[in-house]
Amino acid sequence: MREEKPVIVALDYPEQAAALSMADQLDPEKCRVKVGKELFTRAGPAVVDALHRRGFEVFLDLKFHDIPNTTAKAVRAAAELGVWMVNVHASGGRRMMEAARNELDQVNGSRTLLIAVTVLTSMERQDLADIGLDIEPLEHVKRLALLTQNSGLDGVVCSAQEVTPLRELVEPDFQLVTPGIRPADADVGDQKRIMTPGKAIIAGSTHLVIGRPITKASVPVEALERIQQEVLAAR
Ligand SMILES: O=c1ccn([C@@H]2O[C@H](COP(=O)(O)O)[C@@H](O)[C@H]2O)c(=O)[nH]1
């Protein structure tokens, strides 16, 4: 089924006021927002609450990676905040992901989606070699995506470059959430495995996570509008 709001704006700000000022320029009917480690560590659950009151669906991107019990309880805490999506690191392993899935299923009325990060989009082959993995990112992403699906989660975070091969491996409703999105004229920054918004949609990404190309633009709403147009044209 076609996702009506594929764009997730990453609110990577050092304080709540700046994040909410950006959110107030966005339409919750047209995009979702993401709260990550910097903003959540500064502002805590209050910022999630403030975004919910504005009508936004929130992806709480805290990438939990710990022993099964700790990760499961953290996922429960996120679900109890009412977030739309939360994530863990797939490299925490099957038992960790299954524990998180089971815990989430016990939260009354929760519809929170649980996904897992495969290989960060800032990493390339050399970065994997540095941590002892002599393998192409795609091969590791495939392995972790299958493990994630078999552990009962709803999807993965991966690069849009991996979406086409992953679509052949996973179920059609498995979410493929892709950061590392860069319009053709945007700064790449620290991202390595990137793709343009239009190409990511054509490849089959379910959601595009986009931060600095919007938040650091001279007029963020205009940057978002150009991205939304590119996404629409690609459908
Ligand atoms: O593999 C990953 C996982 C998460 N992210 C997050 O997405 C945004 C991307 O921001 P940009 O400014 O568009 O680069 C950011 O919040 C990351 O923490 C990711 O980039 N890659």
Residue-wise pLDDT for 33-59, tens only, equals 999 999 999 999 999 999 999 999 999
Residue 10 Cβ inside 6 Å of ligand 1? The answer reads yes
3 state DSSP class of 77: helix
Structure tokens at 120: 């960060």
| Residue-level pLDDT at 108 | 87
Residue 120 in contact with ligand 1 by CB distance below 6 A = yes
**Rg of the chain, C-alpha, whole Å:** 17
Indicate the DSSP class of residue 181.
B
Closest ligand 1 atom to residue 215 Cα is 12
How much is the pLDDT for 39?
98
Which residue has 């993995």 as its token pair? 133
pLDDT at position 110: 85
Tokens of 208: 């595009």
Residue 46 tokens, joined? 């209050």
- The model's pLDDT over 51-103, given as tens digits with 9 standing for 90+, comes to 999 999 999 999 999 999 999 999 999 999 999 999 999 999 999 999 999 99
> Domain map of the chain by residue range?
7-234
Largest CA distance in the chain: 46
Cα–Cα distance between 180 and 122 in angstroms, integer? 8
- Whether pTM > 0.90 for this model: the answer is yes
Q: Which residue has tokens 């959601």? A: 207
Report how far apart, in Å, the C-alpha atoms of 48 and of each of 24, 100, 125, 190, 224 are: 14, 21, 35, 26, 21
Both tokens assigned to 145: 């995506």
Q: Answer whether 83's CB lies under 8 Å from 111's CB.
A: no
For residue 60, the model assigns a pLDDT of 98
Task: Write down the ipTM of this complex.
Answer: 0.99
What class, spelled out in words, does domain 7-234 have in CATH? alpha beta
**Does the C-beta of 117 come closer than 6 Å to ligand 1?**
yes
